[in-house]
Structure 1
Amino acid sequence: MNVILEGITGSRAYGLDTETSDTDIKGVYVAPTSEVLGLFPPAETIDRTNPDVTYHEIHKFIRLALKGNPTILEMLYLEGYTQLTKHARMLVDNRHKFLSNVIYRSYGGYAISQARKLNARQDSFSSATKNRYAKHARHCFRLLQQGRELLETGSLTVRVKNRDELFAIGELEPSALVDKFEQEFAEFDRITSILPDKPDYEAINGILLEIRKGNWDA
């Protein structure tokens, strides 16, 4: 498998890891172009465990990044990589061309919808699910913050600067959590974006074709 980009993601990348946190690794691989053009298309995603590793074929990775998928998009903004080839560098160097105002929905819309679901399920919470609830609450609030940064600056800082605040948010009762999210989302929805309405499809398509040309029998 021709892995061109790989890095540690999840809580360790965000700076929200604890002593029990797993190490999550995500990456991008390029299937041989000869396979892509054949009758038997390559797998789009390859998963492994111990450690948890997920690799996406480059076409799927680009497709999801153009939609503003947070867990995909952040891979282009990691502080460091365990694997970064010249082809992956083309993606990272042009990461701003993936961005668009779809961020309003993919970050903000997703975060608030998940927070409301937490509130709807509050009667079923138990001590066994408390940790998952807290982690998910941190995840949702982080998405709002990072979505704001993308819309206002056109860049993304994966490692958070307010770890203590995010852990405190995870301790809120569901109704209080949703109230806070509703307030934050109202502000999020009023952000004046510097991003375009659409990604630079032509530029990204050119990058994909260039990578395919260099991986005929990868």
Structure 2
Amino acid sequence: MPTTPGTVLLSGIVGSTAYGFAHAGSDIDRLGLFAVPTEELHGLHRPAESQVTTEPDLTLHEAAKWCRLALNCNPTASELVWLPDELYETRTPLGEELIALRSTFLSAPAVRRAYLGYADQQFRKLLARDTADPAARRRAAKHARHLVRLTEQAVRLHESGLNLIRLPDPERVRELGERIAARPATAESLLAEAAERLSRPGVLPDAPDPRPAEAWLRRVRAAHYAPAA
């Protein structure tokens, strides 16, 4: 793992491997969060809040930034605390605490806004693709799979409060994605159905509870504070 400006608290394998889409040639995507030494937050220049590399494919967010993303139900960042146990590569005690708090980051409006927003982005990419380009056709199938995944994850979160990262039937999602990639307009009914179900009463609150995240972050700052001699 590349050098980070702090301590990695939680990290794991995400993306196609986590969803069940991976094949022999798939990339391995990793996501994590880290804590900087607390005294580095006291100066004029704050440390970088994210680090992204492509070899390997790794995204790391500083603890406070990750919490802000999760409180907005960012689908990519949020999945870090919902992974199957075997996909975690770093799992410190503070990381365990964060996993235990995962439901407090959720809210119905944010799930609807973030997940359907990301799904709509995938739909727009499908509509704008170059149908004559073989590489674009392959990307279209990927966009379509993620569209299906995002809508189904959103509905499951809204109705059960659970984010199932490992899809129970990835082949069905893959096949549906191929059909949508061939005829993007067929995704309109999928998006409409998801929006309708998310408009019904669900189990999520109208707003997240930031207090557990705030208390956790203060424990992180205390644990990583080493005053200068």
Aligned partner of 2:155 in structure 1 is 148
Where do 4+ consecutive residues of structure 1 move more than 4 Å? 122-125
Contact 2:51–2:61 (CA<8 Å) still a contact in 1?
yes
Distance 1:135 1:175, change over 3 A: closer
Contact 1:46–1:54 (CA<8 Å) still a contact in 2?
yes
- In the TM superposition, what is the alpha-carbon distance from 1:124 to its structure 2 partner? 4.7
- In the TM superposition, what is the alpha-carbon distance from 1:178 to its structure 2 partner? 2.6
Distance 1:185 1:152, change over 3 A: closer
Alignment of 1:34-183 (within 5 A): 34-80=39-85, 81-101=88-108, 102-119=110-127, 121-122=128-129, 124=131, 126-172=133-179, 173-183=182-192
What CA distance in whole angstroms lies between the structure 2 residues aligned with 1:21 and 1:88?
Answer: 27
- In the TM superposition, what is the alpha-carbon distance from 1:88 to its structure 2 partner? 0.9
Q: 2:99 is matched by which residue type in structure 1?
A: V
Distance 1:182 1:143, change over 3 A: closer
Alignment counterpart, residue 23 of structure 1, candidates 21, 24, 28:
28
Alignment counterpart, residue 194 of structure 2, candidates 185, 188, 200:
185
- In the TM superposition, what is the alpha-carbon distance from 1:162 to its structure 2 partner? 1.6
What CA distance in whole angstroms lies between the structure 1 residues aligned with 2:27 and 2:162?
Answer: 27
1:147-201, Cα deviation, whole Å (9 max, x unpaired)? 1111111111100012111111222223443334344334433442111111111
After TM superposition, the score normalised by the length of structure 1 is 0.92
Matched, 1:212 2:221: yes
Deviates more, 1:83-92 or 1:190-199: 190-199
Matched, 1:6 2:7: no
Match of 1:198, SS state, is: coil
Matched, 1:194 2:192: no
What CA distance in whole angstroms lies between the structure 2 residues aligned with 1:37 and 1:78?
Answer: 33
Contact 1:15–1:159 (CA<8 Å) still a contact in 2?
yes
Contact 2:14–2:80 (CA<8 Å) still a contact in 1?
yes
What CA distance in whole angstroms lies between the structure 1 residues aligned with 2:126 and 2:14?
Answer: 24
Contact 1:47–1:55 (CA<8 Å) still a contact in 2?
yes
RMSD: 1.8
After TM superposition, the score normalised by the length of structure 2 is 0.88
